[in-house]
Structure 1
Amino acid sequence: MFRQTSEFTTWFAEQRRVQRHRVTPVRLDALDGWAAEPGTGNLRHRTGRFFTVEGVEVTTGRRVTPSWSQPIIVQPEHGVLGIVVREFDGVPHFLLQAKMEPGNINLLQLSPTVQATRSNYTRVHAGRAVPYLEHFLGPRRGRVLLDALQSEQGSWFLGKRNRNMIVEVTGDVPVLPGFCWLTAAQIGELLREDHLVNMDTRSVLAGLPWGRHGRPEAAVLDGADDTDRAAHTMAELIGHLTEVRAAHAVTRRRVPLNEVKGWSDNGAELRHEDGRYFTVIGVDVEADGREVARWSQPMLAPVGRGLIGFLARHLDGVPHLLAQIRTEAGSFDVAEFAPTVQCLPANHAHLPPGDRPRFLDAVRDAPDAARLLDVTHSEEGGRFHHAANRYTVVLDEDAPRDPGPGFVWLTPRQLADLVRVPGQVDVEARNLLTCLRWWR
């Protein structure tokens, strides 16, 4: 435990020093244990486990581009993302790990107590057992505060979900090397740092019950727990989402990777012909502190930094966030609540203004004085290489009260309650909500 956040900073610097990691780019056709499947070109591990990179054709009436094809990660198994909580001297502490992921910017970031795919915790790789797993798989040791299957990035994963869990314990929990206890206040301070608190930690913390463990409200929005005068009831919000899901069909067809239109594979990498969106690359990895010390894998590398932002304003004196009801290529159930803006701006720079994402200019070009928070965080480093998004909330009291189709105003408390229901809120909105609730 750290009395001051500065003590954590010293500890984390030591973890960077003692944990040895190396990530080396390698051609896709030279990946150890991976190969292009004959006939389809799909990238597959020799065990048939972990994940594959395949192609998908998508048709939806909810986007400027109604149909397209792309590579996508197929990983049907559910992983476990779990955080252990325990009180010390009446103050709740969260057990996090300084964990390396090959795609992380700076490599080492703060991950949940357990962050493991099913292939990992069932030890397909023949490596070491995942520590603390007994707190999350039955019979569990502790009281469950959160247990929900939540979506991952629908633009890059096909229907991927992970089990987000928070378990409160009362007994002794040994602190293994590379792990540490942090308070809510300390995590809130660390969320101000770029590329430090990883995506999975932010996703899990979004589901902490409102008012638990020192974060009773969104500190940067006064009165954020006042839902009695919200613009919409929870039933109305669910109705908006259900209406979109019922009215808009999304057709997805898995296709061979070597038949995806507009993408080329030169053996070294898979790239879009216009140089936009992302590339698929290969890496060799050496890492201390992991269940396996060496491995190889393909990774998805976005082209440019993304923008994840909420517009915020007060409606009848109550703070609200503008949510988008958004469909992605791999969305599990047609659509989810998402931030106002969620995109890589460079992907849309060639389009006329009317075809770019709505509210992009309002979020991207807002003055610094209007930003309630502004930080750059990395995305999931196990599958994405140096994927980073600017997370921001912009206070705009002139934002339209009636935002039009596909958008709806809700309070931070309502968004937090929706997170606790599986499949309602996308991972980008969950990450931004954690920043909003825990920001110090």
Structure 2
Amino acid sequence: MADVTARIARSTGAVESPLTDPAGFDDWFAEFGERIYTTAERVPLAALDQWYQTPVTGDLWHRSGKFFTVHGLRVHDPAGAVPSWSQPIIDQPEVGILGVLVKEFDGVPHLLIQAKAEPGNPGGLQLSPTVQATRSNYTGVHKGRAVPYLDYFRDTSRHRVVADVRQSEQGAWFYRKRNRNMVVETTAEVEVLDGFRWFTLGQLYRLLSRDDVVNMDLRTVLACLPHRSRTDGALHRMTDVLSWINGARSLVTVRTERIALNALDEWRHGEMGYSHESGGFFDVIGVSVTAAGREVGTWRQPMIEPRGTGVVAFLSREIDGVPHVLMHARAEPGYADVVELAPTVQCIPESYRWLPPAARPRHLDEVLAAGPDRIRFEAVLSEEGGRFFHARNRYLIVDSDVPEDPGHPDYRWLTMDQLTRLLRHSHYLNVQARSLVACLRSVEAARPAG
């Protein structure tokens, strides 16, 4: 592992490469975006020709029985500021593959990255993993073209596995969704197909600071890479961190039960989809998609559209000279193990207009009030464009003077080394936290040596 970590550090430090000229990125990206695109037009749910709503429950199912369903979920949280509610949720039990292929050139590992258009992406193309596919996609349920480079991840016997861990996705919108996050290194010759390009890790980190360029799936895989960071000086021992997480999972009071989509309290079902009667939170909509350069050229599907731009932030500070970030042990109804570590703040601020004051996230006001002198990283990044329509979050890393004891048992200061160690395992850091880990590493990479 030490050898792999050192080589990953070499790629992190490389912002120049004979394979990819950073100055030519914009031209390549723009030219490819003129040929590869998706357009999504809103349509009534009844017009989703490959989908049907069951007569009794109203749940949305694909006619193949694959892909995903949309059903209702009732949530009970007696200790929470909102003790119970119901909502639509996406149920996608398949485990997909998010895979990045690595190959060394001139002693520097490079990552094969795809420029990919998703129907929910704002603005079109984004950089994605080498492979980004659900099981239904790569087993050909859609009857489209085969997924390029998939064999490197389905049969790793001739290659080197750098990372392979199952991770969750948004627990507020997905029910127990998991994807296999993989990084595989090869020494074989690799044909670079149209729309793919080799990048160093340092080049990708620089692109992370641009709005809506690096997609969620690539961010989560980058977070799972081995990382060289300081291993001493943590405020809490690792055994205590694990005990804290297990304790939170044992004490949590959240319970869920599946209910019919048409039995949701406080949700309206109209021709164009489902929406909360307050006008907040999110909608379930139908879209008709036309695509160029995808495995399938046209299709229709349901999507979730959030009401408002979210805020996802780490508060950061040095404790005895060692950088720490404030993590939140957060319960969400769709998590397989109920609690995962989340960023300090993770919310859509507009949603709290309709919730009791006690529900307002701790530290949100500090993040919103932070001036430029305290903001170490800021970019608006979008979430998974295959299921969510224009879901965007303002990602921030903000310097803070919150004390070593944050004053609430669900928050603790952890180091980057501790987060890296947790990321070797499933279901410790949620997808928003993994995105911010990638962003934090990009900040560290940009810091002058010494």
Same fold (TM over 0.5): yes
- Give the conservation status (yes or no) of the 8 Å contact 1:210–1:417: no
Change in Cα spacing, 1:241 to 1:398, as seen in structure 2 (3 Å) is closer
- Give the conservation status (yes or no) of the 8 Å contact 1:55–1:71: yes
How far apart, CA to CA, are the structure 1 residues paired with 2:104 and 2:239? 35
1:310 matched to which residue of 2? 314
How far apart, CA to CA, are the structure 1 residues paired with 2:319 and 2:173? 35
1:97 matched to 2:114: yes
2:178 matched to which residue of 1? 161
How far apart, CA to CA, are the structure 1 residues paired with 2:404 and 2:156? 50
How far apart, CA to CA, are the structure 2 residues paired with 1:420 and 1:144? 13
How far apart, CA to CA, are the structure 1 residues paired with 2:155 and 2:121? 31
2:30 matched to which residue of 1? 13
1:72 matched to 2:76: no
How far apart, CA to CA, are the structure 1 residues paired with 2:53 and 2:248? 38
Q: Paired residues, what number?
A: 427
1:405 matched to 2:436: no
1:131 matched to which residue of 2? 148
How far apart, CA to CA, are the structure 2 residues paired with 1:175 and 1:363? 42
1:244 matched to 2:248: yes
1:119 matched to 2:123: no
Moved segments of 4+, more than 2 Å? 1-4, 60-63, 138-141, 349-355, 397-403
- Give the conservation status (yes or no) of the 8 Å contact 1:2–1:8: no
Change in Cα spacing, 1:402 to 1:19, as seen in structure 2 (3 Å) is closer
Shift of residue 362, structure 1, vs aligned partner = 1.1
- Give the conservation status (yes or no) of the 8 Å contact 1:134–1:141: no
1:299 matched to 2:310: no
How far apart, CA to CA, are the structure 2 residues paired with 1:80 and 1:271? 31
- The residue correspondences of 1:199-238 to structure 2 (distance < 5 A) are 199-211=216-228, 225-238=229-242
Aligned residue among 421, 424, 435 for 1:420: 424
Structure 2 letter corresponding to 1:174: E
1:258 matched to which residue of 2? 262
Cα root mean square deviation, aligned: 1.4
1:82 matched to which residue of 2? 99
How far apart, CA to CA, are the structure 2 residues paired with 1:396 and 1:242? 27
1:27 matched to which residue of 2? 44
How far apart, CA to CA, are the structure 2 residues paired with 1:62 and 1:97? 44
Q: TM-score, normalised by structure 2?
A: 0.92
1:358 matched to 2:362: yes
- Give the conservation status (yes or no) of the 8 Å contact 1:53–1:71: yes
For the residue of structure 2 that corresponds to 1:146, the secondary structure is strand
1:109 matched to 2:88: no
Change in Cα spacing, 1:356 to 1:312, as seen in structure 2 (3 Å) is same
Report which stretch shifted further, 15-24 or 309-318: 15-24
- Structure 2: which 5+ runs fail to align? 1-17
2:213 matched to which residue of 1? 196
For the residue of structure 2 that corresponds to 1:238, the secondary structure is helix
For the residue of structure 1 that corresponds to 2:214, the secondary structure is coil
How far apart, CA to CA, are the structure 1 residues paired with 2:358 and 2:318? 27
Question: Can you list the C-alpha shifts for 1:385-421, whole angstroms capped at 9, x where unaligned?
Answer: 0000000011013445333211111001211211111
- Give the conservation status (yes or no) of the 8 Å contact 2:287–2:303: yes
Shift of residue 189, structure 1, vs aligned partner = 1.1
Shift of residue 287, structure 1, vs aligned partner = 1.0
How far apart, CA to CA, are the structure 2 residues paired with 1:21 and 1:70? 29
Shift of residue 313, structure 1, vs aligned partner = 1.0
How far apart, CA to CA, are the structure 2 residues paired with 1:20 and 1:166? 26
Question: Can you list the C-alpha shifts for 1:97-125, whole angstroms capped at 9, x where unaligned?
Answer: 01111001112111100000000000011
2:56 matched to which residue of 1? 39
Structure 2 letter corresponding to 1:322: L
How far apart, CA to CA, are the structure 2 residues paired with 1:153 and 1:3? 33
1:279 matched to which residue of 2? 283
For the residue of structure 1 that corresponds to 2:154, the secondary structure is coil
Shift of residue 290, structure 1, vs aligned partner = 1.2
Aligned residue among 65, 74, 77 for 1:57: 74
Shift of residue 353, structure 1, vs aligned partner = 4.6
- Structure 1: which 5+ runs fail to align? 212-224
Structure 1 letter corresponding to 2:96: G
Question: Can you list the C-alpha shifts for 1:225-278, whole angstroms capped at 9, x where unaligned?
Answer: 333211111111110000011112421100000001110111212100001110
Q: TM-score, normalised by structure 1?
A: 0.94
Report which stretch shifted further, 38-47 or 16-25: 16-25
Shift of residue 350, structure 1, vs aligned partner = 4.5
Shift of residue 438, structure 1, vs aligned partner = 2.1
- Give the conservation status (yes or no) of the 8 Å contact 2:44–2:285: yes
Structure 1 letter corresponding to 2:315: L
Shift of residue 187, structure 1, vs aligned partner = 0.4
How far apart, CA to CA, are the structure 2 residues paired with 1:271 and 1:20? 28
Structure 2 letter corresponding to 1:243: G
Structure 2 letter corresponding to 1:275: G
- Give the conservation status (yes or no) of the 8 Å contact 2:90–2:175: yes
Change in Cα spacing, 1:351 to 1:365, as seen in structure 2 (3 Å) is farther
1:214 matched to which residue of 2? none
Report which stretch shifted further, 380-389 or 244-253: 244-253
Identity of aligned residues (%): 50
- Give the conservation status (yes or no) of the 8 Å contact 1:308–1:390: yes
- Give the conservation status (yes or no) of the 8 Å contact 1:323–1:408: yes
Structure 1 letter corresponding to 2:277: E
